Amino acid sequence: MATLEINDLHVSVDAEGGPTEILRGVDLTVKQGETHAIMGPNGSGKSTLAYSLAGHPKYTVTGGTVTLDGEDVLAMSVDERARAGVFLAMQYPVEVPGVSVSNFLRTSATAVRGEAPKLRTWVKEVKEAMARLEMDPAFAERNVNEGFSGGEKKRHEILQLELLRPKVAILDETDSGLDIDALRIVSEGVNRVRESGQVGTLLITHYTRILRYIKPDHVHVFAAGRVVESGGAELADKLEAEGYEQYTKGGGAS
């Protein structure tokens, strides 16, 4: 059973005046088939956690451990983490001019699977996945994220998720900038992957609206760089009703 274990994780970023600590001892375990929602106010460290797990060079891990199936994730390069099964759907996906979606997807699948997918079956696989996400087939020949709308970018992220089938999917505010229809389509894509029971999902969000479509097994409240409360899906309802003020009074978020 694939398990992501985060123990006492501390992360800093360089700022004027020296390094600033953002994550201050995060403990979290995500098992295969589980969905964990991380909620919290702006600046609480949610996205820092996502990008630190993926290996973004902006973030410096100053303490703690992260393992996937017992393997040291922090010792891996970014591409090694991806091949090991760590997937990040970014809040703001970047443009990759000159690289078509079809080439990008096949290259990614080759890297993760260890061999190039057979072209005939691969084309069918991609077309079927795009159809499920209600994407125009012509989309495959466009450059990655170049001129894409917010909804198109997020659908492309979930298309990658469906085709690559990682061990752990980190979804960083996948619901941001989506209208109701796009939110439904993207959420259905996430749920299809979840239903396989093979993927652990870490869903980072500010709002409960995506949780109406993607039901979490666990909800964690992030404040000031750490998990300050955990519970079941009912905790999200409490946050919707009461907000985050009770967690940010005094210490505040960083």
d(CA 137, CA 127): 7
d(CA 170, CA 157): 11
CA 215 → CA 4, 36, 115, 191, distances in Å? Answer: 20, 9, 34, 9
pLDDT score recorded for residue 250: 54
pLDDT score recorded for residue 191: 96
Please report, for the chain, the start and end positions of each structural domain, with discontinuous segments joined by +.
3-93+153-248
pLDDT score recorded for residue 104: 95
Q: Which of 8, 13, 17, 20 is nearest to 60 (CA)?
A: 13
Structure tokens at 248: 């940010």
Asked if 52 and 59 touch (Cβ cutoff 8 Å), the reply is yes
Model-wide pTM > 0.75: yes
The CATH superfamily label for domain 3-93+153-248 reads P-loop containing nucleotide triphosphate hydrolases (3.40.50.300)
d(CA 76, CA 80): 5
Q: Which residues of the chain have pLDDT under 70?
A: 1, 250-254
Q: Positive or negative, the Cα torsion across 63, 66, 70, 76? A: negative
Q: pLDDT tens for residues 189-238?
A: 999 999 988 899 999 998 899 999 999 999 999 999 999 999 999 999 99
pLDDT score recorded for residue 253: 38
